[in-house]
Amino acid sequence: MYQKNNNEVRHYSMINIWHSKVPFKISFLAWRMLRKKLLLDDALFKFGNPMVSKCHCCIAPKYETQQHVFIDSEVAIKLWRSFGGPLGIRHHNRPIREVLQIWFGTKPVNRIHKMIFNITPWPYVGKSGKALVHVNMGTRRRWCTVVCTKILFWILRTTLKLAFPSCKLDQSWPKICEIVEKLRPIPNSLIVLWELPHVRKVKVDCDGNFFHSSGLAGMGGIVKDCRGDLIMAFVVPNTCSNNDLAEGYAAKHGIEWCIQHGFSDIILEIDSLITANIYVEAKHGGELQTQSCNSRNYTDFISS
């Protein structure tokens, strides 16, 4: 239920408040709610203000507390059941944080499913806060469950359609939940084959790794000829400050060995995109994964 971040223990629901698809004003309202900073009757009593407390979300008004307004009231129970029921989340008369933990702790089956769990509670919080303002200012007598349900459904469906325009989500909320739960990610795989170098060429495949805790690095690689036969393999310990330097040192070591043993036409294969991009910018050409170049110029580039 709790996660550690920046040397302090923070509730999981506090982390999920600041979602990119949730407007800032709703996130800020939710932040105040979780910190119990909303000016409801139970909070005003702490300042010594005598008043007759009654909520405006039930037919028979009850004592207005944060727990009652957002979880235990008649409107809250109907809305939580309307939107949580199709997702398999049952309404529980539990503290607000535990209710949110049920939403955020449920394991999703895909990205859309995850987004639904992460954003659904917050429009309700925002709508509840707005309704409270209208009621307290006297512009509205009581909440309307039907209107709240339609507005929340429109907000959620519009947000999902903007985030996933390729999905058809024009059905009712239970139907949308049913469709989303059946969606599964399409596996996207790419077959990578090692290709033989051309005649009179050698290929250097190298890699490097860096350990932040100790500052130690390791680099290794192999050199093969046009028939795929192994010419040389190396593993060398080193010290550096990041993984990209380790990749660069590994490439430098392999290229220098080839030059010293008379190989002038070299193909270098590396898996560091940063190192490859630096090389491409310096040479103004070539591919990212497989580089064919004049070996001595490339060695000078690595050394610099």
Same domain for 45 and 84, yes or no, is yes
Band (202; pLDDT cuts 50, 70, 90): very high
Residues paired with 206 in a beta bridge: 221
Domain assignment of residue 290, yes or no? no
Q: In which domain, by residue range, is 258 found?
A: 202-285
Same domain for 38 and 156, yes or no, is yes
Same domain for 133 and 220, yes or no, is no
pLDDT reading at 255 higher than 90: no
Domain count, the chain: 2
Domain assignment of residue 65, yes or no? yes
Domain assignment of residue 63, yes or no? yes
pLDDT reading at 302 higher than 50: no
pLDDT of residue 13: 58
Same domain for 255 and 141, yes or no, is no
Same domain for 209 and 93, yes or no, is no
Domain assignment of residue 40, yes or no? yes
Band (52; pLDDT cuts 50, 70, 90): low
pLDDT tens for residues 165-199?
Answer: 888 888 899 998 898 888 887 777 877 788 898 88
**Mean pLDDT to the nearest integer, 201-217:** 89
Domain assignment of residue 1, yes or no? no
Same domain for 153 and 208, yes or no, is no
Average pLDDT, the chain: 77
